[in-house]
Amino acid sequence: MVVEQIQAVGEVSYPPLEPYHRDFLDVGGGHRIYFEESGNPHGFPVIFVHGGPGSHTRPAHRRFFDPDLYRIILFDQRGCGQSTPVGLLSDNTTPHLVADMDALRRDLNVERWLLFGGSWGSTLSIAYALAHVDRVAGMILRGVFLGSRAEVNWFLSGVRSFVPEAWAEFSRDAVGPLVEHYRRLTDAPGHAVALAAARRWCDYEARVMEPANACASGGAGSAQEMLARVRVQLHFLAHDFFLRPNELLDNLWRIRNQPVIIVQGRMDMVCPPSTALAVAQAIENCELRMVASGGHSALQPEIAQELCAATRHLRARLQA
């Protein structure tokens, strides 16, 4: 299904392009983060903040931005994607990730940049903006998530009314809270047990993302990649994303003058629209674009079209 989405997104996004610069940045604690640059080396800097936690960047993510006008920066967060070591959990917290982003900004000699983040990437973008408000020229957020207990509870149990078969399989034989249940399984000594649990977690996630698709599966990638991805995600879930209750929402008043556009799918089952509305109401200079038929994926054509429109809309203000 991911392949189909990438093909579809090409109809509304910019043409494929290759990076002109790839490298790794040593950020301490044994972590090296992968990053790349594409587009115009002298264009306005934009950083793509991927979701998860535990996911990674993809070539399709370069295509939300006009390559003639933007200096497009992608990076894989600690323990994710091409960053090394994959799946490493030590020194892997939200403050570490925020610090990594600013270390990357300094390494690339960027004064201010546009933040573009969806799902967990929206959480991390907001956390960065609150910590480094003077370094943020604006934000484009998609499928907004604030890391609250209510949002997590929705994903783990509330959404089961819409995907009862998937939830029944997801929660089968669970003992105690689901996050701790899956942490025990994915840390099990037996590789087969750990991999089966990771696959079940990813399949449930895929079904919630596409509730109308009974065959949705999240099992792409190698066994090592899947295990690493799920372990990182469970690590952040188990620690409430290393955020205090309402830490982000209560401090959005600090994001004053930067333009913010939120692209939100009304049919998003992973990150329901109520969070996007709460964020939009808390930021004075924010525009909420609700996509009637949109779901959670940034690569869904309806969502991708609005995201590309948002990057076009902001470029004039950023270059002024």
Residues designated as active site:
119, 268, 296
Q: Could you give the C-alpha distances from 200 to 164, 168, 220, 242, in angstroms and in order?
A: 15, 11, 12, 25
Q: In which element (H, E) is residue 108 found?
A: none
Pairing between strand 286-291 and 260-265?
Answer: parallel
Widest distance between CA atoms in the chain: 58
Three-state DSSP state, 148: coil
Q: Could you give the C-alpha distances from 277 to 80, 104, 145, 274, 280, in angstroms and in order?
A: 30, 31, 11, 5, 5
What is the residue type of 184? R
Q: Using alpha carbons only, what angle is made at residue 33 by residues 295 and 36, rounded to the nearest 5 degrees?
A: 70
Structure tokens at 177: 């809270």
Place of tokens 């949002």: 151
Please give the distance of CA 58 from its chain centroid, rounded to a whole number: 12
Q: How far is it, in rounded angstroms, from Cα 34 to Cα 28?
A: 13
Q: How far is it, in rounded angstroms, from Cα 124 to Cα 15?
A: 27
Q: How far is it, in rounded angstroms, from Cα 263 to Cα 144?
A: 8
